[in-house]
Amino acid sequence: MKATDSRTSRSSMAHPFATVELFGLPFLDAPDEASVAAHLLGYEPTLADPDLHPIVVTPNVDIVVQLEKAKTRGLRTQLASSAYVLPDGAPIVWSSRWAKQPLEARIAGSNVFCHWWPNVAADERRVVVFCSSDEVKSGLAAEHPTATIVVAPHIDTSDEQVGLVAADLVAAAIAADAEYCVICIGHPKDPMIALAALERWPLGRPAPLFLCLGASAELYLGIKRRAPEWAQRFGLEWLVRFAQEPRRMFHRYFVRDLGFFPMALREVIARRRA
């Protein structure tokens, strides 16, 4: 694939996929979720690289909008150094095509988890999971009894509370000699905890891969209903979620996420001019 100013390859550092720069993030340009999951299965803990964090993040439209706010742009800068930034939203892929820097496909974190977790469980890979409920814990433990699975406490996003959970995660990962740490609490806590854990990770010790996957485990276990395939294909998952939880989702979809449209327009104009 021909490289441009906004399309680069990180194959020498982390993976064989190119990336496309959009909204201040280097989105992974992969053909499908199965290929990403297959690559993740080959991960081996390595010494931390200050320029490329062993983190998987899955920005969707709502996360992209949140990261544009002044108070979270520092987090976006940190997440831009993640080894895997998955374009988890059809409008992100559409924007890339309008900007003449087309991503090959939407890569949904929940679908990556569906491909990845059964193999991790079957091979009894060393994994630590920090999840949101006992229901998630019991569901995952039934498939992977040797995994270390912890129900994370309810916290806010203060540095102190994030740091406490990160310290517990590091301790659990070291005790388990973990290859992977999965954080399934929600944005922005997942990446904040992962970044704080890396800051606390012992120098000279290979670091696991931190996967920030939000509700992926709940969707995988059927605790939350997945949108049908037709809705995923046409970028209408938001409509299905709104129908399920209209009161909770109204502000997100009809107030906050409307900010994505001017962001996308600016991005398209800037990329076409470049």
205-250 tens-digit pLDDT: 999 999 999 999 999 999 988 778 877 777 778 787 778 888 888 8
State the pLDDT at residue 273.
Answer: 82
Alpha-carbon distance of 186 to 58, in angstroms, equals 11
E strand or H helix that includes residue 145 = none
∠ Cα 149 32 53 (to 5°): 50
Would 64 be classed as within a structural domain? yes
Cα 236 to Cα 33, 92, 136, 188, 233: the distances in Å are: 18, 13, 26, 23, 8
- pLDDT per position as a tens digit, 42-82: 999 988 777 889 999 999 999 999 999 867 778 999 999 99
Would 2 be classed as within a structural domain? no
**Angle, helices 159-176/189-200, rounded to nearest 10 degrees:** 60
Cis peptide preceding 188, ω within 30 of 0: yes
Would 119 be classed as within a structural domain? yes
Q: Is residue 9 predicted with pLDDT exceeding 60?
A: no
Between 70-79, 105-114, 177-186, 258-267, the lowest mean confidence (pLDDT) is in: 70-79
Per the model's pLDDT, the better-predicted residue between 269 and 11 turns out to be 269
Would 260 be classed as within a structural domain? yes
Per the model's pLDDT, the better-predicted residue between 252 and 92 turns out to be 92
State the pLDDT at residue 16.
Answer: 84
Would 14 be classed as within a structural domain? yes
Would 102 be classed as within a structural domain? yes
Q: Is residue 171 predicted with pLDDT exceeding 50?
A: yes
Would 29 be classed as within a structural domain? yes
Would 1 be classed as within a structural domain? no
State the pLDDT at residue 12.
Answer: 37
For residue 187, what are the domain limits? 7-273
State the pLDDT at residue 39.
Answer: 95
State the pLDDT at residue 234.
Answer: 75
- Is 82 within 8 Å of 56 (Cβ atoms)? yes
State the pLDDT at residue 14.
Answer: 60
Q: Is residue 8 predicted with pLDDT exceeding 80?
A: no
pLDDT tier at 272, thresholds 50, 70, 90: confident
Report the percentage of the chain scoring pLDDT > 90.
73
- Is 36 within 8 Å of 213 (Cβ atoms)? no
pTM of the model: 0.90
State the pLDDT at residue 142.
Answer: 97
In degrees and rounded to multiples of 5, residue 148 shows phi and psi of -95, 110
Cα 223 to Cα 137, 182, 228: the distances in Å are: 12, 18, 15
What is the count of structural domains for the chain? 1
Alpha-carbon distance of 157 to 82, in angstroms, equals 20
Residues in the chain, overall count: 274
Q: Is residue 114 predicted with pLDDT exceeding 50?
A: yes
State the pLDDT at residue 112.
Answer: 97
Q: Is residue 3 predicted with pLDDT exceeding 70?
A: no
